[in-house]
Structure formats: C-alpha cells, structure tokens
Amino acid sequence: MKQSIPKRPMMKEWHVIGFTIFLLLVFAVILSAQATGVGQDFSSEQFFDLWAKMANPDWSYIPDIITPLLQTIQMAIVGTLIGCVAAIPVALVSASNIVRNPYVRGVVRFIMNLVRSIPEMLLAALFVAVVGIGALSGVCALSVFSFGMMFKLLYEAIETVDQGPIEAMRAAGGNRNQVIVFAVIPQVLNQYLSFFLYTLEINVRASAVLGYLGAGGIGLYLNTTLEMFRYDRTAVVILGILVVVVLVDALSNKLREALS
Amino acid sequence: MTEKKGNIEIKNVSKVYPNGTVGLKDINLNIKQGEFVMIVGLSGSGKSTLLRSINRLHDVTDGEILIDGQDITKATGNKLHKIRRSTAMIFQNYNLVKTSSVYRNVMSGRVGYYPAWKAALGLFTKEDQEMVKTNLARVNLLDKYYVKARDLSGGQQQRVGIARAMMQEPSVILADEPVSGLDPKTTKLVMNDLKKLNEEDGMTIILNVHSIGLALKYSSRIVGLKEGRIIYDKPIAEVDKRDFKEIYREAGDDSSVEAGNDVEED
Ligand SMILES: Nc1ncnc2c1ncn2[C@@H]1O[C@H](COP(=O)(O)OP(=O)(O)OP(=O)(O)O)[C@@H](O)[C@H]1O
Ligand SMILES: [Mg+2]
C-alpha cells in the first residue's frame, strides 16, 4: 500500500490555535474578575447563616404560597398564548418563501430583532413602570418575550418547509392565504406546538422571578421573605418553584415527544 | 363559450431566465381539447420551462399563452387563480404534504374553492368530501384514506397526486415527468390513470417524458424540443420511430430509442 493519510501541518497536529484561544480566555476571565471586584465583599458569616436557615424550611408556609404559585403558572400560560399567537402573522411575513418582497421582510425582521434584544427582566421592569405593580405587567412582559422568541423559531421553521406542496397549491390556483393554510400550516403545525411548549417552559421559570420586580406571582414572596431574613420561608418558596418547574418541564417534554 | 374546454394556444413564446439562460425560443403550439401531447427532448431542452409557463409558475419573456381564449401571461389576481384552477399539474416529486393524510392531500386540490379561514377550520362541504372518495377510488387508493402521505410508495404518492389534480375539475393536466423514478409496473398504472382521464373525461394532457417508448404508446401527438425550440411536432399516426434517432443522435445518445423498442405493447 502506497497510499497514506497526508500528514497534518504542525499547527493543526498540536491544535495550536485552539490551545492559544483557551489560554487567552482563562487570562480574560482572571482579568475581568479583578476589574469588577468579584468576591471582594463576600461575608462567609452571612453565607452560612443563610444556609443554616434554609436547611430548616418552615413547612407551615406552604398554604400561603399555593395561590401565588398558581398565579405564576397562569401568567406564564396567558403570556405564552398571547405572544405565540401574535407571532404567527409576523413570522409568515418574515419568511422568504411566503413574502417575496425583501424590503418588507427586512423591515419586519429588523423591528423584531429590536424587540428580541430586550431582556425579559428589563421588559418586566418597563411594564411595572407603565402598567403598574401586579400580574398584568408580568403577563405583558411574558407576552412580548414569547412573541419575540416564537417569531424567530417559527419563521425559521417556515423557511425550511418543503417547497413542493407550496408550488403545488400555487399551481392549483390558491392565493397566498389559501397556500398558507393548505401547504405551510400542515408542515409546521407540530413544530409550532412544540415551540409553544418550549416557550411555556421558559416562561414558567421566568415568571417565577418576575414577581421580584413587582410583576405578580410567586416572585414577590421570594422578595419579601428574603427582605425579612426569613430564609426558612425562602427555602419553601424556592422548593415550590422547583416543584412547579420540574412538573411543567416533565409534562411539556412528554407532550413534545408525542408531537415529534 | 359553448365549445369544450381545454384548448391551449401558445404564440411566439420566449423565455430568458434572469441569469441569461435561454429557456424557450419562439414557441408556437396549438393544442386542442382532448389531445394527449407528450413532450420529448434531452435534459435541459426546456420541457419543464414550457410546462411551467403554461400555468405561469414561470413568467415568460415574450409572447402569449391562451387557455380557452384567456391569456394567462397577463392575468393577475383572481383571474390568474381561476385559470390555474382549470389547469392541474402533476409533479415529478409528487409535492404532497408528507405529514398529512391522503384525505387531506387530495382535498387540497380544492384549495382554490375555499376561503382560507374555512379551509383552516376544515369546513369542507359534503359534496367535496364525497368527491375525495370518488377520486381516490378512481386511482384505487380508497383504502389509504387515513394513511400519511409519507407512508406510501412513490407510485401511490403519484396517484394521490393525480386524485388531487382531479379535485380541481380541470380541463387540462400538465404532468412534468410524472413517472421518472417509478418502476415499469407502477409507471403503467400511473400512465393508465392519466389515459383514462384523457379518454373518459376528455381532459387535455401535456406530459413531459424521457422515454420515447412511453410517448409512442400513450400519446396522440409528440412534440420534440431542443435548446428551447420546437424541432419536431407530429400526430402519432405520422410518427416514425427513426425520427427520434434524429432528435437524440447529435448528443451521441440513442439509448432512449433502444429503450423505446422494448416497451411491450398490449
Ligand atoms: N430557475 C432557472 N434559472 C436559470 N436557468 C434555468 C432555471 N430553470 C431552468 N433553467 C435552464 O433552462 C434550460 C431548460 O431547463 P428545463 O428545466 O426546462 O429543461 P428540461 O427539458 O425540463 O430538462 P430535464 O429533462 O432535465 O428536466 C436549461 O438550460 C436550464 O439550465
Ligand atoms: Mg424538467
């Protein structure tokens, strides 16, 4: 046998580039930690006090957090629903296989990218300022967030559908809406439901914390128990959130498996 | 108009693709209701371009295409959709929604008859649901009614495509290599389905093929294309097998002619 695998150049053989980048990253982490002063005013006393109290949860607090926990889930569901439904037409308009005009698509995508670039917590803070303290501002924040997220997932799904049925429906005399109903929706429906559940999962987590900013739900209790140094109750709140998140994730995963 | 529908007049049609490729060059073709025209030609000769110009999946650069007197090259909006509805198309890769049921795919042939919201809610009339059954029965696939399209064989998918086309109640069927990729037996099934539509329902059929054998067996007229021009156009009675040696020889390939000889007659 004369043939053999050609020898790689030295640089590649020893992964020089990858290794250099790794070293640079480590260096950057150390530098930025020093610059920002991470870990300078750390009090180990307070830290251990927190853990000691958290280790003995105040179980009698459970009945108090049931209602806000349910409210958190409700907020997540309503927010996800509003955002995900609103995302449908916008995603369609952004998909290059539905709307041919690149300018229309470009403008819509640009606006949507702006929307998506606002972090969820900032949205919540904004809505608390505008709408006022309460669940409504939480729902608003979650809606806008879901809107941005579903938009991106959905328009990418739409752009990758099989073009064949779309062409067939055009050839059969369908106008744009008819083509969408007959050729696009059937192809993305399962993905859409799956994205919906995924968004819901994220929103349940997020809405648990939103209350911290006054946007309703269990987060408020997180805030108050911490402020009153009732870490034994904080522990119950955190456990409650944990249970809800795990349950919702498990349910959503099961459903998504069934969908695929 | 009282005369039967399904007449196509192609007048001085040329097509240049945006990148400068010449697809069609000065095509003149008059196809009468009830004809079964097969278009033959080498790969790249413009067969698909011609077919797709007829229902305006492609815009032509020049000329006009009259379908029962209406110029599709200038039609817009509702008028365009109506003309397209009367010219059904069958595709080489079937173009079914793979994840939808056979029923849903066949029903989608009625796309042009339902407002989007009604279709979205699945509000199809009793008559149309009956029509789905009738058309599926005609292609012998009624037992696949609830099956997902992706679980069918290629030949079965193509016949679902035919049932879908029939839902349009068209007067013309355009078929772009509908049997490429199918085995001889399935090819026969599909071709016989189309033949039935031609003979029993009087639909005009225009079909692209690579196999001269099929053209000789099923068509009533053969049109040969080469580099976007019509170089051959004869009714089947006047066709001589040796003609095709002429069409294909220049490319140094006459295997299609050989293949044509061993298609059995019955
Ligand atoms: N979208 C397009 N853009 C540019 N050129 C194209 C396009 N589609 C087809 N062509 C060119 O137009 C010519 C005719 O193509 P066409 O697809 O009509 O041939 P065909 O006879 O159907 O070939 P085949 O038998 O391989 O299907 C070819 O030269 C092809 O490269
Ligand atoms: Mg072709």
The pLDDT assigned to A39 comes to 66
The type of residue at B166 is M
> Tokens 């280790």 sit at which residue?
A55
Which chain B residues have a beta carbon less than 8 Å from that of A172?
84-85, 88-89, 108-109, 111-112, 164-165, 168
pLDDT digit string (tens) for B173-189? Answer: 999 999 988 899 999 99
Coil, helix or strand at residue B80: helix
The pLDDT assigned to B218 comes to 94
Q: Checking DSSP bridges between strand B87-90 and strand B172-176, what pairing results, if any?
A: parallel
The residue ranges of chain B whose pLDDT is under 70 are: 1-3, 246-266
Q: Name the phi and psi angles at A163, rounded to 5.
A: -70, -25
The pLDDT assigned to A246 comes to 92
Domain assignment of residue B237, yes or no:
yes
Domain range for B118 is 9-260
The pLDDT assigned to B2 comes to 43
Domain assignment of residue B47, yes or no:
yes
The answer to ipTM > 0.95 is: no
Domain assignment of residue B45, yes or no:
yes
Instruction: Kindly report the nearest CA distance between residue B195 and chain A, in angstroms.
Output: 21
Supply the CATH number for residue A93's domain: 1.10.3720.10
Please indicate whether, in this complex, the C-beta atoms of A185 and B120 are within 8 angstroms of each other: yes
Q: What is the pTM of this model?
A: 0.82
Best mutation target, A161, A176, A178, to test chain B (most B CBs within 10 A): A178
The pLDDT assigned to A13 comes to 66
Strand order across the beta sheet in which B221-226 lies: B87-90, B172-176, B204-208, B36-40, B221-226, B229-235
The DSSP symbol for B133 reads H
Domain assignment of residue A50, yes or no:
no
Domain assignment of residue A235, yes or no:
yes
Please state, rounded to an integer, the average pLDDT across all residues of chain A. Answer: 89
Cβ neighbours around A6 below 10 Å, total: 6
Domain assignment of residue A48, yes or no:
no
- SS3 of A155-204: the string is HHHHHCCCHHHHHHHHHCCCCHHHHHHHHHHHHHHHHHHHHHHHHHHHHH
Ligand closest to B52 (CA) is 1
Please indicate whether, in this complex, the C-beta atoms of B94 and A178 are within 8 angstroms of each other: no
Q: Please give the C-alpha separations between residue B49 and each of A147, B73, B203, B242, in angstroms, as whole numbers.
A: 41, 14, 21, 26
Q: How confident is the model at residue A37 (pLDDT cuts 50, 70, 90)?
A: confident
Residues with C-beta less than 6 Å from any ligand 1 atom: B 17, 19, 21, 23, 41, 43-49
Answer for the pair B176, B158: CB distance below 8 angstroms, yes or no.
no
Domain assignment of residue B110, yes or no:
yes
> Tokens 């806000």 sit at which residue?
A68
Strand partners, B172: B87, B204
Distance B177 CA to ligand 1 centre (A): 13
Domain range for A153 is 57-259
Number of structural domains found in chain B: 1
| Residue A186: closest CA among B119, B160, B83 | B119
Q: Name the phi and psi angles at B207, rounded to 5.
A: -135, 130
Number of structural domains found in chain A: 1
How far is Cα A150 from Cα A146, in angstroms, rounded to an integer? 6
- For the cut 80, the answer to whether the pLDDT of residue A200 exceeds it is yes
pLDDT digit string (tens) for A115-172? Answer: 999 988 899 889 999 988 888 999 999 999 999 999 999 999 999 999 999 999 999 9
- For the cut 70, the answer to whether the pLDDT of residue A175 exceeds it is yes
The pLDDT assigned to B1 comes to 42
| Cα distance between the two ends of chain A | 48
Domain assignment of residue A184, yes or no:
yes
Q: How confident is the model at residue A30 (pLDDT cuts 50, 70, 90)?
A: confident
The pLDDT assigned to B46 comes to 94
The pLDDT assigned to A11 comes to 65
The pLDDT assigned to A142 comes to 94
CA nearest B51 in A: which residue?
A: A171
Pair of tokens at residue B106: 């066949």
CA nearest A180 in B: which residue?
A: B116
The pLDDT assigned to A36 comes to 79
Q: Name the phi and psi angles at A194, rounded to 5.
A: -65, -45
